[in-house]
Amino acid sequence: MSKTFISILKVTISVGLASLLLYLVFRNIDWVDFWARAQSVDYSWVIVSIILSIVAYVARAYRWNILLEPLGYNLKTSRTTLAVLIGYLANLALPRLGEITRCGILNRNDKVSMPVAIGSVVAERVVDMLTLLVLIFISLIIESERLMTFLNQAYKDLNIPNYVIGIVLILGLLGMSVLIVFVKRQDRLKGKFAELIKGFINGILSLRKIKRPVGFLVSTMILWLVYFLMSYIIVFSLPETSHLGIGAGFMLLVTGGIAISLPVQSGFGTYHGMIAGMLLLYSIDETTGVFLATLLHTSQIVAIALFGTIAIIISFLIRRASVKKTTN
């Protein structure tokens, strides 16, 4: 089976699943009412949210630099910001493609080892996952009753067989065991595959070697604070949601974070459905909930498309200038 066929199959499945989820979310929507919402939006809040996204991209790039420093790479934040933006743009094409793409950009433009870069991205994702768990805990405290109701409604019909849980646990333990063995015996490994594994492991372990822990912590806090603001301020763009408080803002952040992390095409369908479902807990009707989710999601897509395209152009110019300098 060719790689091209597998790639096409992945895209087809991802797009098909996203399309199905979008259909399920929008099938009962009153479109006359839906478009009426669009006419009542104060788009100044949406524009502010899009502008704020730049801060999040730079914060993520700065944090990535801190992870790469102990691995021997001292890069400018502007360079890693370009890679992050292009990576986000690539994620619109295929789930998780962005992680590989941004590592490839750094490899091409700044000679960063691919295995090391990928390992550092994995470490970064681990931090994001732990941060999301902390935010879920905070949301549980702030909106405990509503959150429990949401979880019960979302998963009341979910019935996972015990053997599936057992398999997942076994695979997890095996994976951890293999990783531990590689970490302990990586000096004995030889060959190209061994170099790839070593680079990947070093990238993951960069968390324990960071030289600027305060900078890493502050950039992580800024990143998630901006994520919160990006979603929360848009509720003020609609009269029907402008009364929602900070607790609802936390719920938007957490619910959106979970939805985006699922392996579906850029969160299409999952984001809309989960946000709209969560807003029902605040007595926001389905049409308004789906519209707000669409507004939130679309603003993020617009930001990624706009800034990602600019990043590609700048990266191309940098690459061309570098080639000219080499040839001269």
Closest by CA to 228, choosing from 102, 135, 294, 124, is: 135
- Please answer whether residues 117 and 65 qualify as being in contact, where contact means their C-beta atoms are separated by less than 8 angstroms: no
Side-chain-facing half-sphere of 22: CA atoms under 13 Å: 14
Is pTM, for the whole model, over 0.85?
Answer: no
Closest by CA to 104, choosing from 92, 86, 91, 122, is: 86
Residues 6+ away with beta carbon under 8 Å from 29: 286, 287, 290
Through-space distance between the first and last CA atoms of the chain, rounded to whole angstroms: 44
Tokens of 43: 């788009």
Residue 152: the pLDDT is 65
Q: What CA–CA distance (Å, rounded) separates 106 from 85?
A: 12
Locate all alpha helices (DSSP H) within 69-111, ordered by sequence. 77-91, 97-110
Residue 60: the pLDDT is 95
Measure Cα distances from 115 to 7, 46, 71, 103, 195 in Å: 21, 38, 11, 9, 8
Residue 280: the pLDDT is 83
Residue 178: the pLDDT is 64
Q: What CA–CA distance (Å, rounded) separates 280 from 26?
A: 15
Q: What CA–CA distance (Å, rounded) separates 239 from 236?
A: 7
What residues in the chain have per-residue pLDDT under 50? 157-160, 192
- Please answer whether residues 44 and 190 qualify as being in contact, where contact means their C-beta atoms are separated by less than 8 angstroms: no
User: What letter would DSSP give residue 319?
Assistant: H
Burial per residue of 134-143, b for 16 or more beta-carbon CB atoms within 10 angstroms, e otherwise? ebbeebbebb
User: What letter would DSSP give residue 211?
Assistant: S
User: What letter would DSSP give residue 209?
Assistant: G
Measure Cα distances from 296 to 36, 268, 321 in Å: 17, 12, 38
Residue 214: the pLDDT is 92
Tokens of 63: 């944090």
Residues 6+ away with beta carbon under 8 Å from 15: 265
Residue 157: the pLDDT is 43
